[in-house]
Amino acid sequence: MNVRQTPRLLLTLALAAIALTTLTLALSTRSARAQNGDDIYVDKQLGRADPVVHVGEYLTFTILIRNDTAFTVTTLPLADTYNAAVLGYADAVPPPDAVDESAGQLDWTDLTGFFGDLPPGREAVVVVGFIAEHPQTAVVNAAEVHDAMGTSGALSGTTSIDDGTDSIGGSSPVDKELLAGLSPQVGQPLTFTVIITNDGFTTMTVAPLIDTYNPAWLAFNYAVPPPDRIDASGGILTWTDLTVWTGDVPAHASISVTTVFTALAATGDAMNRAEVVGASDWYGNDMGGGADDVPITIIGPTPTPAPTATPEQKHDKDKEKGKPTPTPVVLTPTPTATPEVPLLPETGDAGPPSDGRLFTVLLGLGAATVLLITACRRVLFRRDPAPE
């Protein structure tokens, strides 16, 4: 071998050895980092299977924190951000050290004060509760570990974002029914019951109602509670806010209104409609309205039936049919002559005229009295004959 080529060959072998050593160290380091990890893992999930949340409903998020580094975590800050225009903070375990509701952020300065130090592979779970206050799709909620410290110094963290939650508003369905057992008839009263239900998860604070009818077929009598406005010619009854009478309506509760009309004309196409428009909840959200129609058929007045004879009355009538009809006998009075009695001449003041028959009777009684007195005198004063 040429002596001059020996140093050059040795230099080439040395460079090759250095490159091989460097490559080996790089592969070893990458393998160790892939095995042990170099981050603090964070995962935030909605604490329910259904991502659709109603306004007023309570929901939770679970934040899972895992130490995927090769070192023990000794300081573990956490920041949780949420959409304050949609969600309202309710509670958390453990509770945060700072709450900024206007910015929508919760901060924990060091979770190791609650969970203790986190060795490699150890997990910690934080649960945060919110109230859905306003409807919106794709509600963003994020959790981030930052400025974590380990036994080897500063550690890098990660951020987990949940944007698969939808918040929807409540509704106020309406059910209107004609009172059971009523037969719509001209001239008769018709009673309707309107039931309004709060189908949301928060309190209904405003509940307007509009009831419409055809004034050619129905005449409004009264309602409980009474409407705020009555348009008799247009057939419109308006309640601006029923909660003034009933109070706020809790979630899934119902209120009712009773309306009474008089049927005016016979028709087969009378319609009566109740509708809620402009209802709102505790947070000022517009609630979906509802409506219900009640079709009715109004018939004319029922004629009064003629009286029906009872079986006994029919039997008596049959008996009377078999009997001969009696012929009425007309009696003619025979005139009788009335004797004329001469009246005494009037003396002095004329009194009322006397009846002739009465005067005759009195005259006969007077004559009989005279005869009786005469006979008595003869008997009393008769003289007996002298003895011989």
Identity at 317, one-letter amino acid code: K
Q: How many beta carbons lie within 10 A of that of residue 41, not counting itself?
A: 16
For position 94, what pLDDT does the model report?
Answer: 95
For position 149, what pLDDT does the model report?
Answer: 73
Query: 212 to each of 139, 238, 260, 273, how far by Cα in Å?
Result: 40, 9, 13, 5
What b/e readout covers 351-379, taking b as 16+ CB neighbours within 10 angstroms?
eeeeeeeeeeeeeeeeeeeeeeeeeeeee
75 close to 114: Cβ distance less than 8 angstroms: no
Q: Which domains does the chain have, with CATH numbers?
A: 39-168 (2.60.40.680), 174-298 (2.60.40.680)
For position 143, what pLDDT does the model report?
Answer: 79
In 3D space, the residue among 127, 164, 122 whose CA is nearest the CA of residue 143 turns out to be: 127
For position 15, what pLDDT does the model report?
Answer: 53
For position 307, what pLDDT does the model report?
Answer: 62
Q: Residue 242, by phi and psi: left (phi above 0), alpha (psi -120 to 50) or beta?
A: alpha
For position 30, what pLDDT does the model report?
Answer: 38
Identity at 131, one-letter amino acid code: I
In 3D space, the residue among 26, 31, 64 whose CA is nearest the CA of residue 47 turns out to be: 64
Q: Residue 83, by phi and psi: left (phi above 0), alpha (psi -120 to 50) or beta?
A: beta
What b/e readout covers 86-110, taking b as 16+ CB neighbours within 10 angstroms?
bbbbeebeeebeeeeeeebbbebeb
For position 144, what pLDDT does the model report?
Answer: 83
Identity at 142, one-letter amino acid code: A
Write out the chain's pLDDT in tens, 388 residues: 554 555 555 556 555 555 555 544 444 433 333 344 468 899 989 888 888 888 888 999 999 999 998 999 999 999 999 989 889 999 999 999 999 999 999 999 999 999 999 999 999 999 999 998 888 775 667 778 777 776 666 666 666 766 556 667 778 899 989 888 777 888 899 999 999 999 988 999 999 999 999 999 999 999 999 999 999 999 999 999 999 999 999 999 999 999 999 999 888 777 889 999 999 998 899 988 899 998 888 887 766 665 665 656 555 555 555 555 555 544 444 454 444 544 444 444 444 555 567 667 677 777 777 777 777 777 666 655 555 4
Backbone angles phi, psi at 41, to 5 degrees: -80, 135
Q: Map tokens 């009809």 to a residue.
A: 325
For position 362, what pLDDT does the model report?
Answer: 73
For position 139, what pLDDT does the model report?
Answer: 64
